[in-house]
Structure 1
Amino acid sequence: MSPNCPKGPVLGPLVVCGVCFAQSNLHYLEKIGVKDSKLLSPEKRANLSKLIKNACVCYDSLVISAQEIDKRFDNDINLNGLEMNKFAEIINELKPDIVYMDAADTNAEKFKNLIGKKLDYKPLKLISEHKADENYPIVSAASIIAKHKRDMIITSLREKYLNMGYSDLGSGYPSDERTINFLKEWIRIEKRAPTFARKTWQTTKKILDLELYNRKITQYFNE
């Protein structure tokens, strides 16, 4: 079993997923071409997500809204801590014998130990590594389901706001020019950030400053 999630976007939720496979069936993941979800197109993720769900023993996913991500400061918790809590929640729900995790901390061993303290049972193995989604197909499988679920949410938001006359919001990532242009347009018109934007992200803060207060980005960095 592996929990995994994508967490870099400025628009949309964080999706955490865990998936369980019988050890005797793990070879199936390589057979169908499961690999790092970041290297796959949305169409390929959609196809693989369906195959993975049909073949696995069980899976679970959690959608963490932009508002919940922003509210983590109220609970004095960083994003890694929030992710850790969600990982533990899914592991406790699925209760696999062996757990593979993509470490959400610079210290993979520390991440493993902190997760272990949050579990209500003791797995036979708890494995935490950096870049686990590149090295273990089971971790890639969880990441594919998580990214596909997020893809569907973003597609729904894109279609909704295109129909309302807004520009294409893109992928939701700060590196996407469509996403930045959408945020600028929204804030210029609505005088606030959208509810599905992560307001604690520097990208959102800078655009709010620029569009609402006419402050140059250079001013923002010089303060």
Structure 2
Amino acid sequence: MAGVDEAGRGPVIGPMVVALVALDESRIGILENIGVKDSKMLSPSRRERIRKILEEILEYTAIRVVQPREIDEAVEGISSENLNSLEATVIADLVLQALKKIGLSRVYVDSPDPVAERFGRILATRINKDIVVVAENHADIKYPIVSAASIIAKSEREKIISELKRVYGDFGSGYPSDPKTREFLKRLLENNRELPPIVRRSWKTLSRLM
């Protein structure tokens, strides 16, 4: 069985990271034994410790980093219908890649769509293989295999954000609600500086600041 989750869908700065992990169903109990739970319920240090253990016990792991430009093109309807459509495409690609290397009977996905069944139908159509697709809201809390994916995705994004800060300076968490993030963007706009590629130009945060 496989679990899929993302980290960084909402920020105005930085990429979104989607992770797929797989483990034989008979070994799922191991995940609970090592403390796997929704990544948001774990401290950064705890996530890193659990990720190291996961990398040893998971039978398959794949990560896709979705850059701000790709997100902007989806939000603006250029490359995809919307952001949900882009995420469905990314997840389907990860599943199809996994099927080339391992056998999968079921895939559990944390749905970005509040109507989870709709997202599940879209995803199943794009995968178009004889496997069960279960898309649910809050799947990262309900299913340990999705919790494991959430830990991998969030840990990977945090590493990327740390690297970006070394290049561009401290922009905070990257979320629109973060005063440090808004101040970082405000300085760029006030100084008429070109927005770096780490900024999502389609977010309303920018138009509000301008």
Counterparts of residues 95-174 of structure 1 (less than 5 Å): 95=99, 96-123=104-131, 125-162=132-169, 168-174=170-176
Match of 2:43 in 1: 41
- What is the distance in 1 between the residues matched to 2:92 and 2:34? 28
How many residues are treated as equivalent by the alignment?
Answer: 202
Alignment of 1:1-223 (within 5 A): 1-6=2-7, 7-72=9-74, 73-95=77-99, 96-123=104-131, 125-162=132-169, 168-207=170-209, 209=210
Length-normalised TM-score, structure 2:
0.91
Backbone CA RMSD of aligned residues: 1.4
Query: If each structure's helix is expressed as a fraction of its own residues, which one has the higher value?
Result: 1
Segments of 4+ moved more than 6 angstroms: none
Where does structure 2 lack aligned partners over 5 or more consecutive residues? none
Measure, in 2, the Cα distance between the counterparts of 1:155 and 1:55. Answer: 26
Superimposed CA distance per residue, residues 85-142 of structure 1 (whole angstroms, 9 cap, x where no aligned partner): 111111111132111111122221221111111114211x221111101111110110
TM-score, with length taken from structure 1 = 0.86
Contact (CA 8 Å) 2:80, 2:86: kept in 1 or not?
A: no
Change (3 A) 1:171 1:119: same
Percent identical among aligned pairs is 38
Pick 1 or 2: higher relative contact order, CA cutoff 8 A, min separation 6: 2
Segments of 5+ residues of structure 1 without an aligned counterpart are 163-167, 210-223
Q: Which amino acid aligns with 2:117?
A: E
Rg (Cα) greater in structure: 1
Distance 2:106 2:34 in 1: 22
- Match of residue 212 from structure 1: none
Code of the aligned partner of 1:87: I
